[in-house]
Structure 1
Amino acid sequence: MDMAGTRRFPVWLLTAWALSRLALLLFVFKVFVFPGPDVTSDVSVIYHGWYDTLRTGAFPHDDVTWQYPPAAALAVLSPALLPFLDYEQAFYVLAFLADLTVVCLLLYAGRRPHRTVRGAWVWVVGVALLGPTVYARYDLMVTAVAVAALLAGARRPRVMGALVAVGALLKVWPALLLAGAVRRRAWVSAAATAGALALPVALTMPGAFGFLTSQRDRGTEVESLGSLVFHVARHFGWKGQVLLNYGSVEYLGPYVDWVSSAALFLTVVAFGWLLLWRVSVRRMPPHALADAAFVAVLLFTVTSRVISPQYMVWLVGLAAVCLCSRASRMALPGALVVVACLATVLEFPVCFANVVAGDGLGITLLFVRNGLLVLATLTAARTLWRGTVSHPAPTVPPQATRTQETLTPS
């Protein structure tokens, strides 16, 4: 009965996807205006400027907003695949196609035995709640690569490794997908692919890996967890500033370096926890590969100095892969991430002026969004530990239970 249900054509899911994505396209094409600042300026101004530079065969290393691995150039140059469209139009169409790829992958995976389409629902709802920002950043393309890597991981570790390497060269964070990889072939494939792709670029295009040190002097971004310290401190006489720095709105001033250092320390602690988990693992069921990746990215997102709205796309994609498996216990953390998407679109772009001003509404929205992410992180980490490290509860065979009931006096 359940198997038949999973094979029915998912009419409602695809209808919800189509309608919500039509709305996103209408917003980025400016048929309708979404509340708040224009989220498409990154594409029309920043990406387009990089595009002009990259076409000359050089990286825009003199631009402080270029903080990405070398393969990011492929995402920025990708609109050239659609020369009959303007740069901005082509970028939005490609983002739409990446979105379509993800939902198709999740549907294909969800309709297999012991799987479910709830992961596809997480993707449909989560991306819709984030608003048009997702189509105006290249993070959706990176997430498509990451989703494909995780779905391939259980049966094709070499394919997973290769896709992880491509994703990491696009935006670093997909390297965390290997956190739960137990097959050596995945690690070897990732290393070989990364070397094969990165070495020629490093030799022929100077500055390809300048991103590794380009963010050294960053402040604390106004949407990050650490920024809450200064959002509150401003009301008690703190004399810092809110400025556009390294392509994002950041806090700069007294004690910012302390909070930034604390964020770095928490990232190190997160890495230490992951390492402890990895060496303590007693069992690794198939679904734990995606669960571990979800936990790893949650940990490093929450402890980062920057939590931009597009980062939520990563978490939605990984939560969706987790929930494709019936055995996964990441339903609660996944639901918290989806709710956090709603809080995210409210803090950016809808009420971003309130966030920058640090007024009551802006602070409340940030406390809610970041609080949900912290809760999702702690819940997911606890669930992963209990499912892979803790001793399973002893099970009593049914026959032994019946014998015990017979011997127990009434």
Structure 2
Amino acid sequence: MSPFRKHRTPGRVRALAAAWLATRALMLWLLAHDRLAPLGGGGVSREVGHLYFHWYGVLSEGAFPAGDRLWQYPPGAGPVLLAPGLLPGLTYFTAFVVCALAADAVIAAALTRAGLRPGGGPRGAWLWVLGLPLLLHIPLARYDVQVTAFAVVSLLALSRRPRVCGAFAAMGALVKVWPALALIGTPRGRSTREVWASAAVTAAALLAVLAALFSGPFDFLRQQSGRGVQIESLGGTVLGFARHAGWPGAARYQYGAMEFVGPYTGAVAACSLALTVAAFGLMLLWRVRARRWTTATPYDAALTAVLLFTVTSRVISPQYMVWLLGLAAVCLTSRHTTQRPVAALILAATAVSSAAYPGLYGEVVHSTWTGCLLMLVRNGLLATAAGVSFVRLWRSGLPAAAPRRGVPAGRERGTHRIPTGLRTRQ
């Protein structure tokens, strides 16, 4: 590190810390005024105060919420929802918000530290610090920040501690399945073997402990399979416009979300599942065909995979944007990333998402032209981001062209050598 950069580093960290404190104070203010109509009329915070607290009571008795149609989460979600009860002297709601802020701070600190590494930069930390408040107070009233912390720490640990990477990915996957996708871009060879072995051992050990401590840990599978087409999903956008063309369906609250019911919804849900399978096939094909890895490739692949699975899902809740912001921020900690345009698209989609919920959610529920257009813009941005992300990831993995005469290998524009520390693990 140059002396000039050493001099600038403390100032950057202080600026990031000040921005985090200011923006999180604003998010807390919004949460405290959650009952205002533009902020959701109390709907955002109600999930913690009522639903999560109810589940906390069930889990405290040593059982998962068996038979509860709203419980659709892997067994690792149980400890996360029990954690606020460990903070003395606080209500469950207050303790939950404290836990969310703590996870948020861990992510910001991890991104800041990663940006100080050779070849890194501060853009990732700034994207997280300034991007998360675009979701208003939603991140503080859902446990997606906690899940995202597992994925972020997992990815940032890969280059130096592969086993830690696998362990954190496994813990995140047991809370909400998607962090398992963080492992799809691990470099071939020893790194992949260490990471995946660690993930398998961690997942098996934690599942065994949870199965011993709680009854009904796998009941969530039955509830998850019954989900339909959420109004905010890509398929839901199609059905929303179909209502204007005479489709007789309607939106109904079920399985914890507003979903469309009526003719052809089953076909739309099946199409979404088929697209998810196709997305999985594309990522496997990329991994088989890719021949070039940089320090940023695992980060880029994780973002691409989660984007593809989010866009093709039957459900795209507003809090899903927290995942994408976290992974995009990890990508931007490396100067070799191919995902900078994708990060910009995700930021735009995040801003539109908070306009749709909670701001104009009634318009979305009733499929007015305003609501349909909001969903078209948000999901169009996400679909574009997914397409651009995959194309850029695919191209970055193609074999490098032969260097021009007089240009040393590895000096061609757009090519990066794999750092020695990473190359020795392949």
TM-score of the superposed pair, with normalisation by structure 1: 0.94
Report if the CA contact (8 A) 1:263-1:305 is conserved: yes
Partner of residue 372, structure 1:
381
Partner of residue 24, structure 1:
27
Partner letter of residue 186 of structure 2?
A
Q: Is it true that 1:170 corresponds to 2:175 in the alignment?
A: yes
Report if the CA contact (8 A) 1:28-1:92 is conserved: no
CA distance in 2, matches of 1:41, 1:17: 25
Q: Secondary structure at the match of 2:315?
A: coil
- Identify the match of residue 398 of structure 2 among 385, 389, 410: 389
Q: Is it true that 1:35 corresponds to 2:29 in the alignment?
A: no
Partner of residue 145, structure 1:
150
Partner letter of residue 125 of structure 1?
L
CA distance in 1, matches of 2:228, 2:402: 47
State the Cα deviation string for residues 120-151 of structure 1 (Å, max 9, x = none). Answer: 11101220101100100001001011110000
Partner of residue 349, structure 2:
340
State the Cα deviation string for residues 168-199 of structure 1 (Å, max 9, x = none). Answer: 01111101011011321000000000001102
How many angstroms does 1:36 deviate by? 2.7
Partner letter of residue 221 of structure 2?
L
Q: Secondary structure at the match of 2:184?
A: helix
Partner of residue 406, structure 1:
none
CA distance in 2, matches of 1:5, 1:360: 53
Q: Is it true that 1:7 corresponds to 2:12 in the alignment?
A: no
Q: Is it true that 1:82 corresponds to 2:87 in the alignment?
A: yes
Q: Secondary structure at the match of 1:242?
A: strand
Partner of residue 99, structure 2:
94
CA distance in 1, matches of 2:16, 2:376: 31
Partner of residue 57, structure 1:
62
CA distance in 2, matches of 1:5, 1:321: 24
Partner of residue 403, structure 1:
none
Q: Is it true that 1:247 corresponds to 2:256 in the alignment?
A: yes
Unaligned runs of 5+ in 1: 401-410
Report if the CA contact (8 A) 2:75-2:217 is conserved: yes
Partner of residue 316, structure 2:
307
CA distance in 1, matches of 2:299, 2:408: 36
Partner of residue 197, structure 1:
206
CA distance in 1, matches of 2:169, 2:291: 25
How many angstroms does 1:364 deviate by? 1.1
Report if the CA contact (8 A) 2:136-2:354 is conserved: yes
Partner of residue 185, structure 2:
180
Q: Is it true that 1:325 corresponds to 2:334 in the alignment?
A: yes
The two structures, once aligned, show a CA RMSD in angstroms of 1.8
Q: Secondary structure at the match of 1:9?
A: helix
Does 386-395 or 103-112 show the bigger shift? 386-395
Report if the CA contact (8 A) 2:121-2:332 is conserved: yes
In structure 2, the CA distance between the partners of 1:376 and 1:45, relative to structure 1 (3 Å rule), is same
Partner letter of residue 50 of structure 1?
W
How many angstroms does 1:288 deviate by? 0.3
CA distance in 1, matches of 2:175, 2:7: 38
Q: Secondary structure at the match of 2:251?
A: strand
Q: Is it true that 1:116 corresponds to 2:118 in the alignment?
A: no
CA distance in 2, matches of 1:136, 1:278: 36
In structure 2, the CA distance between the partners of 1:395 and 1:77, relative to structure 1 (3 Å rule), is farther
Report if the CA contact (8 A) 1:129-1:342 is conserved: yes
Partner of residue 408, structure 1:
none
How many angstroms does 1:357 deviate by? 1.0
Partner letter of residue 244 of structure 1?
Y
Total equivalences in the alignment:
400
TM-score of the superposed pair, with normalisation by structure 2: 0.90
Partner letter of residue 282 of structure 1?
R
Fraction of identical pairs, as percent: 46
In structure 2, the CA distance between the partners of 1:358 and 1:191, relative to structure 1 (3 Å rule), is same
Report if the CA contact (8 A) 1:106-1:324 is conserved: yes
Q: Is it true that 1:48 corresponds to 2:57 in the alignment?
A: no
How many angstroms does 1:393 deviate by? 6.5
- Identify the match of residue 238 of structure 2 among 222, 229, 238: 229
Q: Secondary structure at the match of 2:137?
A: helix
State the Cα deviation string for residues 285-334 of structure 1 (Å, max 9, x = none). Answer: 12101111111100100000000001000000000000000111210001
CA distance in 2, matches of 1:79, 1:346: 30
How many angstroms does 1:215 deviate by? 1.9
Q: Secondary structure at the match of 2:316?
A: coil
Report if the CA contact (8 A) 2:97-2:141 is conserved: yes
CA distance in 2, matches of 1:257, 1:399: 57
In structure 2, the CA distance between the partners of 1:333 and 1:390, relative to structure 1 (3 Å rule), is farther
State the Cα deviation string for residues 199-257 of structure 1 (Å, max 9, x = none). Answer: 23234533201222322222100000111111111112111121001000000110000
